[in-house]
Amino acid sequence: MGADIPAGVEMSRRILEDELGKETVFRDASKLLPDYVPSTLVHRDEEFRQLTRIFRPVLENNASQRALLTGSTGVGKTAISMKFGEELKSAMRGKDLKLDYIHVNCRKDNSIHAVLLKLVHHYNPREPYRGLGPEKLLGDLVTRLRAHDEYLLVTLDELDYFMQLNGPDVLYWLTRAEEERGERNRISVIAIAKSREEFLRLLDAPTQSTFLHNVLPLEKYNARQLTDIVNQRLGDAFRSGSVDPETVEMIADTASRWGDARLALELIWRSGMVADMERCDSVMPEHARQAKAEIYPEIKKEVLQDMKFHEKLLLLAVARRLKISKQAYAMTGEVEKAYAVVCEEHGEAPLKHTQLWEHMQKLGELGLVDVQPSGAGHRGRSMRVSIPEAPVTWIEKEIVKVLGR
Ligand code: ADP
Ligand code: MG
Protein backbone atom coordinates (compact mmCIF):
# COMPACT_ATOMS: atom_id res chain seq x y z
CA MET A 1 0.00 0.00 0.00
CA GLY A 2 1.38 3.44 -0.90
CA ALA A 3 1.64 5.97 1.89
CA ASP A 4 -0.42 8.41 -0.20
CA ILE A 5 -3.60 6.32 0.10
CA PRO A 6 -5.80 7.95 2.73
CA ALA A 7 -6.42 5.73 5.75
CA GLY A 8 -10.18 5.43 5.09
CA VAL A 9 -9.66 4.22 1.55
CA GLU A 10 -7.07 1.70 2.60
CA MET A 11 -9.44 0.39 5.24
CA SER A 12 -12.35 -0.06 2.87
CA ARG A 13 -10.12 -1.71 0.32
CA ARG A 14 -8.93 -4.13 2.95
CA ILE A 15 -12.51 -4.95 3.90
CA LEU A 16 -13.38 -5.43 0.26
CA GLU A 17 -10.43 -7.67 -0.41
CA ASP A 18 -10.99 -9.57 2.78
CA GLU A 19 -14.63 -10.23 1.94
CA LEU A 20 -13.89 -11.16 -1.66
CA GLY A 21 -11.09 -13.47 -0.55
CA LYS A 22 -13.36 -15.49 1.74
CA GLU A 23 -14.36 -18.98 0.86
CA THR A 24 -17.93 -19.36 -0.31
CA VAL A 25 -20.26 -22.29 -0.86
CA PHE A 26 -21.77 -20.53 -3.89
CA ARG A 27 -20.75 -20.83 -7.48
CA ASP A 28 -23.41 -18.41 -8.72
CA ALA A 29 -26.06 -17.35 -6.21
CA SER A 30 -28.01 -15.45 -8.87
CA LYS A 31 -29.26 -18.81 -10.16
CA LEU A 32 -31.44 -18.93 -7.05
CA LEU A 33 -33.13 -15.58 -7.57
CA PRO A 34 -36.91 -15.69 -8.10
CA ASP A 35 -36.83 -14.34 -11.67
CA TYR A 36 -34.24 -16.80 -12.92
CA VAL A 37 -35.88 -19.41 -15.15
CA PRO A 38 -33.91 -22.66 -15.43
CA SER A 39 -33.36 -24.27 -18.82
CA THR A 40 -35.84 -27.03 -18.03
CA LEU A 41 -38.72 -27.19 -15.58
CA VAL A 42 -38.97 -30.44 -13.71
CA HIS A 43 -42.33 -32.09 -12.99
CA ARG A 44 -44.25 -29.81 -15.33
CA ASP A 45 -44.10 -31.83 -18.55
CA GLU A 46 -47.80 -32.65 -18.57
CA GLU A 47 -48.81 -29.02 -18.01
CA PHE A 48 -46.43 -27.90 -20.74
CA ARG A 49 -48.02 -30.42 -23.06
CA GLN A 50 -51.48 -29.11 -22.22
CA LEU A 51 -50.44 -25.53 -22.93
CA THR A 52 -49.13 -26.68 -26.27
CA ARG A 53 -52.45 -28.35 -27.04
CA ILE A 54 -54.39 -25.25 -26.10
CA PHE A 55 -52.35 -23.00 -28.38
CA ARG A 56 -52.04 -25.40 -31.27
CA PRO A 57 -54.89 -23.67 -33.19
CA VAL A 58 -52.87 -20.44 -33.13
CA LEU A 59 -50.09 -22.13 -35.05
CA GLU A 60 -52.21 -24.21 -37.35
CA ASN A 61 -55.25 -22.06 -38.07
CA ASN A 62 -54.14 -18.56 -37.11
CA ALA A 63 -56.85 -18.61 -34.48
CA SER A 64 -56.63 -16.59 -31.29
CA GLN A 65 -56.63 -18.53 -28.02
CA ARG A 66 -56.89 -17.83 -24.31
CA ALA A 67 -55.82 -19.87 -21.35
CA LEU A 68 -56.02 -19.35 -17.63
CA LEU A 69 -53.14 -20.62 -15.47
CA THR A 70 -53.98 -20.91 -11.79
CA GLY A 71 -52.22 -21.97 -8.61
CA SER A 72 -50.80 -20.67 -5.36
CA THR A 73 -47.48 -18.86 -4.91
CA GLY A 74 -44.40 -20.68 -6.13
CA VAL A 75 -46.06 -23.43 -8.17
CA GLY A 76 -44.28 -22.21 -11.30
CA LYS A 77 -46.98 -20.15 -13.04
CA THR A 78 -44.57 -17.43 -14.13
CA ALA A 79 -41.82 -19.88 -15.00
CA ILE A 80 -43.95 -22.17 -17.15
CA SER A 81 -45.60 -19.35 -19.06
CA MET A 82 -42.25 -17.69 -19.82
CA LYS A 83 -40.76 -20.98 -20.84
CA PHE A 84 -43.71 -21.77 -23.05
CA GLY A 85 -43.68 -18.35 -24.69
CA GLU A 86 -39.98 -18.48 -25.43
CA GLU A 87 -40.13 -22.05 -26.73
CA LEU A 88 -43.05 -21.23 -28.96
CA LYS A 89 -41.32 -18.19 -30.34
CA SER A 90 -38.14 -20.06 -31.14
CA ALA A 91 -40.04 -23.03 -32.59
CA MET A 92 -41.73 -20.64 -35.01
CA ARG A 93 -38.50 -18.95 -36.08
CA GLY A 94 -37.97 -19.58 -39.76
CA LYS A 95 -41.47 -21.00 -40.17
CA ASP A 96 -44.32 -19.44 -42.13
CA LEU A 97 -46.04 -18.07 -39.08
CA LYS A 98 -44.51 -15.09 -37.33
CA LEU A 99 -45.23 -15.18 -33.66
CA ASP A 100 -43.92 -13.03 -30.85
CA TYR A 101 -44.19 -13.41 -27.09
CA ILE A 102 -44.51 -10.71 -24.43
CA HIS A 103 -44.66 -11.35 -20.70
CA VAL A 104 -46.36 -8.60 -18.72
CA ASN A 105 -46.18 -8.48 -14.96
CA CYS A 106 -49.46 -6.73 -14.18
CA ARG A 107 -48.44 -6.08 -10.61
CA LYS A 108 -45.70 -3.84 -12.00
CA ASP A 109 -47.58 -2.48 -14.99
CA ASN A 110 -50.70 -1.95 -12.99
CA SER A 111 -53.03 0.04 -15.25
CA ILE A 112 -54.55 -0.67 -18.64
CA HIS A 113 -52.47 2.12 -20.03
CA ALA A 114 -49.26 0.66 -18.62
CA VAL A 115 -50.04 -2.81 -20.00
CA LEU A 116 -50.82 -1.58 -23.49
CA LEU A 117 -47.81 0.71 -23.37
CA LYS A 118 -45.63 -2.28 -22.57
CA LEU A 119 -46.98 -4.04 -25.66
CA VAL A 120 -46.48 -1.15 -28.08
CA HIS A 121 -43.06 -0.37 -26.62
CA HIS A 122 -42.02 -3.92 -27.39
CA TYR A 123 -42.14 -2.95 -31.05
CA ASN A 124 -41.41 0.77 -30.80
CA PRO A 125 -39.30 1.34 -27.71
CA ARG A 126 -38.52 4.98 -28.51
CA GLU A 127 -42.02 6.22 -29.25
CA PRO A 128 -43.38 8.10 -26.22
CA TYR A 129 -47.10 7.48 -26.98
CA ARG A 130 -47.98 10.40 -24.75
CA GLY A 131 -51.62 11.06 -24.01
CA LEU A 132 -52.99 8.15 -26.03
CA GLY A 133 -55.98 6.17 -24.75
CA PRO A 134 -56.33 2.37 -24.86
CA GLU A 135 -58.13 2.43 -28.19
CA LYS A 136 -55.30 4.31 -29.88
CA LEU A 137 -52.57 2.20 -28.30
CA LEU A 138 -54.29 -1.03 -29.23
CA GLY A 139 -54.97 0.34 -32.70
CA ASP A 140 -51.27 1.01 -33.13
CA LEU A 141 -50.40 -2.52 -32.01
CA VAL A 142 -52.98 -4.18 -34.21
CA THR A 143 -51.97 -2.15 -37.25
CA ARG A 144 -48.40 -3.22 -36.77
CA LEU A 145 -49.30 -6.90 -36.39
CA ARG A 146 -51.46 -6.74 -39.49
CA ALA A 147 -48.86 -4.90 -41.57
CA HIS A 148 -46.19 -7.50 -40.75
CA ASP A 149 -48.65 -10.39 -40.77
CA GLU A 150 -47.56 -11.26 -37.23
CA TYR A 151 -49.20 -12.90 -34.25
CA LEU A 152 -48.67 -12.23 -30.60
CA LEU A 153 -48.94 -14.26 -27.41
CA VAL A 154 -49.21 -12.14 -24.28
CA THR A 155 -49.03 -13.41 -20.71
CA LEU A 156 -50.84 -11.21 -18.24
CA ASP A 157 -49.12 -12.34 -15.06
CA GLU A 158 -50.71 -11.56 -11.67
CA LEU A 159 -53.84 -10.52 -13.46
CA ASP A 160 -56.04 -11.22 -10.43
CA TYR A 161 -54.18 -8.54 -8.50
CA PHE A 162 -54.54 -6.16 -11.44
CA MET A 163 -58.27 -6.80 -11.84
CA GLN A 164 -58.89 -5.98 -8.19
CA LEU A 165 -57.60 -2.50 -9.02
CA ASN A 166 -58.80 -1.97 -12.56
CA GLY A 167 -61.52 -4.48 -13.30
CA PRO A 168 -61.37 -6.77 -16.34
CA ASP A 169 -61.39 -4.22 -19.18
CA VAL A 170 -57.86 -5.05 -20.25
CA LEU A 171 -59.09 -8.50 -21.24
CA TYR A 172 -61.90 -7.00 -23.22
CA TRP A 173 -59.41 -4.91 -25.16
CA LEU A 174 -57.07 -7.77 -25.86
CA THR A 175 -59.49 -10.61 -26.46
CA ARG A 176 -62.68 -9.22 -27.94
CA ALA A 177 -62.32 -5.71 -29.30
CA GLU A 178 -60.97 -6.81 -32.68
CA GLU A 179 -63.42 -9.64 -33.07
CA GLU A 180 -66.33 -7.34 -32.44
CA ARG A 181 -65.10 -5.14 -35.23
CA GLY A 182 -65.14 -8.18 -37.50
CA GLU A 183 -61.34 -8.34 -37.70
CA ARG A 184 -59.17 -11.37 -37.09
CA ASN A 185 -57.75 -11.25 -33.59
CA ARG A 186 -54.00 -11.73 -33.77
CA ILE A 187 -53.47 -11.59 -30.03
CA SER A 188 -53.62 -14.66 -27.79
CA VAL A 189 -53.55 -14.43 -24.03
CA ILE A 190 -52.35 -16.48 -21.08
CA ALA A 191 -53.94 -15.07 -17.95
CA ILE A 192 -52.41 -15.93 -14.59
CA ALA A 193 -54.35 -15.85 -11.33
CA LYS A 194 -54.26 -17.63 -8.00
CA SER A 195 -57.85 -18.80 -7.95
CA ARG A 196 -59.99 -19.88 -10.87
CA GLU A 197 -63.29 -18.99 -9.18
CA GLU A 198 -62.28 -15.52 -8.08
CA PHE A 199 -60.82 -14.73 -11.45
CA LEU A 200 -63.85 -15.87 -13.43
CA ARG A 201 -66.21 -14.12 -11.04
CA LEU A 202 -64.75 -10.76 -12.06
CA LEU A 203 -65.41 -11.28 -15.78
CA ASP A 204 -68.50 -10.59 -17.84
CA ALA A 205 -70.12 -13.65 -19.39
CA PRO A 206 -68.69 -13.37 -22.93
CA THR A 207 -65.10 -12.91 -21.70
CA GLN A 208 -65.61 -15.63 -19.12
CA SER A 209 -66.59 -18.11 -21.77
CA THR A 210 -63.39 -17.47 -23.72
CA PHE A 211 -61.36 -18.80 -20.76
CA LEU A 212 -63.68 -21.40 -19.34
CA HIS A 213 -62.55 -24.31 -21.45
CA ASN A 214 -58.86 -23.67 -21.12
CA VAL A 215 -58.15 -23.55 -17.43
CA LEU A 216 -54.87 -25.12 -16.43
CA PRO A 217 -54.44 -25.52 -12.67
CA LEU A 218 -50.89 -26.00 -11.37
CA GLU A 219 -50.93 -28.15 -8.25
CA LYS A 220 -48.73 -27.49 -5.25
CA TYR A 221 -45.40 -29.33 -5.32
CA ASN A 222 -44.85 -32.16 -2.87
CA ALA A 223 -41.62 -32.66 -0.93
CA ARG A 224 -40.16 -35.05 -3.48
CA GLN A 225 -40.79 -32.65 -6.35
CA LEU A 226 -39.34 -29.76 -4.38
CA THR A 227 -36.24 -31.85 -3.67
CA ASP A 228 -35.82 -32.34 -7.42
CA ILE A 229 -36.36 -28.64 -8.10
CA VAL A 230 -33.73 -27.61 -5.55
CA ASN A 231 -31.32 -30.33 -6.67
CA GLN A 232 -31.65 -29.17 -10.26
CA ARG A 233 -30.28 -25.74 -9.24
CA LEU A 234 -27.50 -26.96 -6.98
CA GLY A 235 -25.01 -27.59 -9.78
CA ASP A 236 -25.37 -24.07 -11.16
CA ALA A 237 -25.72 -22.22 -7.89
CA PHE A 238 -23.36 -24.01 -5.51
CA ARG A 239 -19.85 -25.40 -5.65
CA SER A 240 -19.94 -29.10 -6.17
CA GLY A 241 -20.47 -31.13 -3.03
CA SER A 242 -21.03 -28.09 -0.85
CA VAL A 243 -24.66 -28.84 0.00
CA ASP A 244 -25.51 -31.69 2.32
CA PRO A 245 -28.36 -33.78 0.80
CA GLU A 246 -30.25 -33.84 4.10
CA THR A 247 -30.31 -30.05 4.08
CA VAL A 248 -32.16 -30.18 0.78
CA GLU A 249 -34.54 -32.81 2.09
CA MET A 250 -35.31 -30.72 5.13
CA ILE A 251 -35.93 -27.58 3.10
CA ALA A 252 -38.16 -29.47 0.70
CA ASP A 253 -40.13 -30.80 3.65
CA THR A 254 -40.76 -27.31 4.99
CA ALA A 255 -41.62 -25.76 1.64
CA SER A 256 -43.96 -28.65 0.83
CA ARG A 257 -46.36 -27.37 3.47
CA TRP A 258 -47.11 -24.58 1.01
CA GLY A 259 -46.07 -26.49 -2.12
CA ASP A 260 -43.90 -23.48 -2.87
CA ALA A 261 -40.76 -23.75 -5.03
CA ARG A 262 -39.91 -20.10 -4.49
CA LEU A 263 -39.74 -20.68 -0.73
CA ALA A 264 -37.58 -23.79 -1.23
CA LEU A 265 -35.12 -21.86 -3.38
CA GLU A 266 -35.07 -18.92 -1.00
CA LEU A 267 -34.37 -21.25 1.89
CA ILE A 268 -31.43 -22.95 0.17
CA TRP A 269 -30.07 -19.54 -0.77
CA ARG A 270 -30.36 -18.24 2.79
CA SER A 271 -28.88 -21.45 4.15
CA GLY A 272 -25.88 -20.89 1.90
CA MET A 273 -25.53 -17.33 3.20
CA VAL A 274 -25.57 -18.61 6.77
CA ALA A 275 -22.97 -21.27 5.94
CA ASP A 276 -20.73 -18.58 4.40
CA MET A 277 -21.18 -16.34 7.39
CA GLU A 278 -20.16 -19.17 9.70
CA ARG A 279 -17.31 -19.98 7.36
CA CYS A 280 -18.45 -23.55 6.84
CA ASP A 281 -17.55 -25.18 3.57
CA SER A 282 -20.82 -27.07 3.35
CA VAL A 283 -24.45 -26.18 3.87
CA MET A 284 -25.78 -28.26 6.76
CA PRO A 285 -29.25 -28.78 8.31
CA GLU A 286 -28.43 -26.37 11.11
CA HIS A 287 -27.91 -23.62 8.54
CA ALA A 288 -31.32 -24.40 7.08
CA ARG A 289 -32.88 -24.14 10.53
CA GLN A 290 -31.36 -20.71 10.95
CA ALA A 291 -32.50 -19.69 7.49
CA LYS A 292 -36.03 -20.76 8.34
CA ALA A 293 -35.95 -18.94 11.64
CA GLU A 294 -35.06 -15.77 9.71
CA ILE A 295 -38.14 -16.13 7.57
CA TYR A 296 -40.59 -17.65 10.02
CA PRO A 297 -39.77 -17.03 13.65
CA GLU A 298 -42.47 -19.51 14.59
CA ILE A 299 -41.29 -20.86 17.90
CA LYS A 300 -42.28 -18.68 20.78
CA LYS A 301 -40.39 -18.73 24.02
CA GLU A 302 -43.64 -18.89 26.02
CA VAL A 303 -44.40 -22.23 24.43
CA LEU A 304 -41.14 -23.61 25.76
CA GLN A 305 -41.81 -22.26 29.24
CA ASP A 306 -45.26 -23.80 29.45
CA MET A 307 -44.22 -27.34 28.57
CA LYS A 308 -44.26 -30.21 31.06
CA PHE A 309 -40.95 -31.11 32.66
CA HIS A 310 -40.41 -34.32 30.70
CA GLU A 311 -41.49 -32.67 27.48
CA LYS A 312 -38.68 -30.21 28.03
CA LEU A 313 -36.22 -33.03 28.72
CA LEU A 314 -37.33 -34.82 25.60
CA LEU A 315 -37.04 -31.75 23.39
CA LEU A 316 -33.60 -31.09 24.83
CA ALA A 317 -32.68 -34.68 23.96
CA VAL A 318 -33.85 -34.28 20.37
CA ALA A 319 -31.96 -30.99 20.02
CA ARG A 320 -28.75 -32.48 21.43
CA ARG A 321 -28.98 -35.55 19.26
CA LEU A 322 -29.44 -33.43 16.13
CA LYS A 323 -26.66 -31.09 17.14
CA ILE A 324 -24.18 -33.92 17.60
CA SER A 325 -25.18 -35.86 14.49
CA LYS A 326 -25.37 -32.70 12.32
CA GLN A 327 -28.22 -34.41 10.52
CA ALA A 328 -31.71 -33.24 9.67
CA TYR A 329 -33.44 -36.22 11.29
CA ALA A 330 -32.86 -38.45 14.28
CA MET A 331 -34.24 -41.97 14.63
CA THR A 332 -36.50 -42.38 17.66
CA GLY A 333 -34.16 -45.04 19.12
CA GLU A 334 -31.33 -42.51 19.12
CA VAL A 335 -33.57 -39.92 20.71
CA GLU A 336 -34.53 -42.31 23.49
CA LYS A 337 -30.87 -42.91 24.31
CA ALA A 338 -30.18 -39.17 24.35
CA TYR A 339 -33.26 -38.70 26.54
CA ALA A 340 -31.95 -41.27 29.05
CA VAL A 341 -28.72 -39.31 29.29
CA VAL A 342 -30.56 -36.00 29.78
CA CYS A 343 -32.69 -37.60 32.54
CA GLU A 344 -29.60 -38.85 34.29
CA GLU A 345 -28.08 -35.36 34.19
CA HIS A 346 -31.20 -34.02 35.89
CA GLY A 347 -31.47 -36.87 38.40
CA GLU A 348 -34.81 -38.03 36.94
CA ALA A 349 -36.06 -41.51 36.15
CA PRO A 350 -36.83 -41.72 32.42
CA LEU A 351 -40.44 -42.28 31.34
CA LYS A 352 -41.46 -45.58 29.75
CA HIS A 353 -41.60 -45.89 25.99
CA THR A 354 -45.35 -45.37 25.47
CA GLN A 355 -45.52 -42.39 27.78
CA LEU A 356 -42.48 -40.87 26.14
CA TRP A 357 -44.14 -41.37 22.78
CA GLU A 358 -47.19 -39.43 23.95
CA HIS A 359 -44.88 -36.59 24.91
CA MET A 360 -43.34 -36.74 21.47
CA GLN A 361 -46.80 -36.45 19.90
CA LYS A 362 -47.43 -33.41 22.07
CA LEU A 363 -44.21 -31.77 20.88
CA GLY A 364 -45.38 -32.48 17.37
CA GLU A 365 -48.73 -30.80 18.00
CA LEU A 366 -46.93 -27.75 19.35
CA GLY A 367 -44.99 -27.60 16.11
CA LEU A 368 -41.69 -28.04 17.94
CA VAL A 369 -40.76 -31.30 16.27
CA ASP A 370 -41.81 -33.09 13.17
CA VAL A 371 -42.30 -36.86 13.41
CA GLN A 372 -42.46 -39.01 10.30
CA PRO A 373 -42.14 -42.65 9.31
CA SER A 374 -38.46 -43.19 8.64
CA GLY A 375 -39.00 -44.57 5.16
CA ALA A 376 -36.79 -46.98 3.30
CA GLY A 377 -33.67 -48.45 4.80
CA HIS A 378 -35.01 -48.94 8.31
CA ARG A 379 -36.94 -51.96 9.42
CA GLY A 380 -40.30 -52.01 11.15
CA ARG A 381 -42.38 -49.02 12.12
CA SER A 382 -39.48 -46.88 13.11
CA MET A 383 -39.97 -43.12 13.06
CA ARG A 384 -37.67 -40.19 12.60
CA VAL A 385 -37.79 -36.83 14.30
CA SER A 386 -36.66 -33.40 13.20
CA ILE A 387 -36.71 -29.87 14.57
CA PRO A 388 -37.71 -27.97 11.48
CA GLU A 389 -38.42 -24.48 12.73
CA ALA A 390 -35.43 -23.27 14.69
CA PRO A 391 -31.71 -23.82 15.07
CA VAL A 392 -31.16 -26.69 17.50
CA THR A 393 -28.48 -24.65 19.26
CA TRP A 394 -31.12 -22.01 19.96
CA ILE A 395 -33.62 -24.62 21.22
CA GLU A 396 -30.98 -26.17 23.43
CA LYS A 397 -30.03 -22.83 24.95
CA GLU A 398 -33.64 -21.82 25.59
CA ILE A 399 -34.62 -25.18 27.10
CA VAL A 400 -31.64 -25.15 29.42
CA LYS A 401 -32.77 -21.69 30.51
CA VAL A 402 -36.35 -22.76 31.28
CA LEU A 403 -35.18 -25.96 32.98
CA GLY A 404 -32.98 -23.85 35.22
CA ARG A 405 -35.95 -22.19 36.90
P1 ADP B 1 -45.41 -18.56 -9.31
O2 ADP B 1 -45.38 -17.63 -10.46
O3 ADP B 1 -46.43 -19.64 -9.43
O4 ADP B 1 -45.50 -17.86 -7.97
P5 ADP B 1 -42.70 -19.03 -10.10
O6 ADP B 1 -42.87 -19.41 -11.52
O7 ADP B 1 -42.21 -17.66 -9.82
O8 ADP B 1 -44.01 -19.34 -9.27
O9 ADP B 1 -41.71 -20.09 -9.44
C10 ADP B 1 -41.00 -19.80 -8.25
C11 ADP B 1 -39.56 -20.20 -8.38
O12 ADP B 1 -39.46 -21.60 -8.50
C13 ADP B 1 -38.89 -19.65 -9.62
O14 ADP B 1 -37.56 -19.37 -9.31
C15 ADP B 1 -39.00 -20.78 -10.61
O16 ADP B 1 -37.95 -20.72 -11.56
C17 ADP B 1 -38.88 -22.00 -9.72
N18 ADP B 1 -39.65 -23.12 -10.23
C19 ADP B 1 -40.99 -23.26 -10.16
N20 ADP B 1 -41.37 -24.41 -10.72
C21 ADP B 1 -40.24 -25.01 -11.16
C22 ADP B 1 -39.98 -26.26 -11.82
N23 ADP B 1 -40.99 -27.08 -12.13
N24 ADP B 1 -38.71 -26.58 -12.11
C25 ADP B 1 -37.70 -25.75 -11.79
N26 ADP B 1 -37.87 -24.57 -11.16
C27 ADP B 1 -39.13 -24.20 -10.83
MG1 MG C 1 -45.50 -15.58 -10.53
Same-domain check for residues 187 and 243? no
Split at pLDDT 50, 70, 90, the class of 1 is very low
Residue 319 has pLDDT above 80, yes or no: yes
Distance from Cα 177 to the centre of ligand 1, integer Å: 33
Centre of ligand 2 to C-alpha 214, Å, is 19
The atom of ligand 1 lying closest to the CA of 33 is: 14
158 Cα: distance to centroid of ligand 2 (angstroms): 7
Which pLDDT belongs to residue 6? 65
> Do 103 and 190 have their domain in common?
yes
State which of 278, 295, 312 marks the end of a domain: 295
Q: Which ligand is nearest to the CA of 156?
A: 2
Q: Are residues 148 and 107 in the same domain?
A: yes
Task: Please give the pLDDT value at position 299.
Answer: 66
Tell me if residue 402 falls in helix, strand or coil: helix
The answer on 173 and 105 residing in a single domain is yes
Ligand 1, atom nearest to 81 Cα: 6
Stronger pLDDT, 220 or 92, i.e. the higher one = 220
Ligand nearest to the CA of 231: 1
Confidence of residue 381 (pLDDT cuts 50, 70, 90): low
Q: What is the pLDDT of residues 339-354, one digit of tens each?
A: 999 999 999 999 999 9
In percent, the amount of the chain with pLDDT more than 70 equals 95
Q: Find the residues whose C-beta lies inside 6 A of ligand 1.
A: 34, 36-38, 41-44, 71, 73-79, 229, 232, 261-262, 265
The pLDDT-based confidence of 176 (bands split at 50, 70, 90) is confident
Q: Ligand nearest 226 Cα, by number?
A: 1
pTM of this structure: 0.79
Q: Is 167 in the same domain as 81?
A: yes
Of the residues 169, 184, 217, the one at which a domain ends: 217
Please report whether residue 4 resides in a domain.
no
Instruction: List, in sequence order, the alpha helices (H) in 192-244.
Output: 196-201, 205-212, 223-237
Interacting residues of 66 by C-beta distance below 8 A, sequence separation 6+: 175, 188, 189, 190, 191, 210, 211, 214
Residues lining ion ligand 2 (Cβ < 5 A) are: 77-78
- Give the CA dihedral 280, 295, 303, 332, nearest 10 degrees: -50
> Which residue, by CA, sits nearest to atom 24 of ligand 1?
41
Same domain membership, residue 330 and residue 235: no
- Mutation to probe ligand 1, out of 230, 231, 265 (largest number of atoms < 8 A from CB): 265
Of all protein residues, the one whose alpha carbon is nearest to atom 20 of ligand 1 is 76
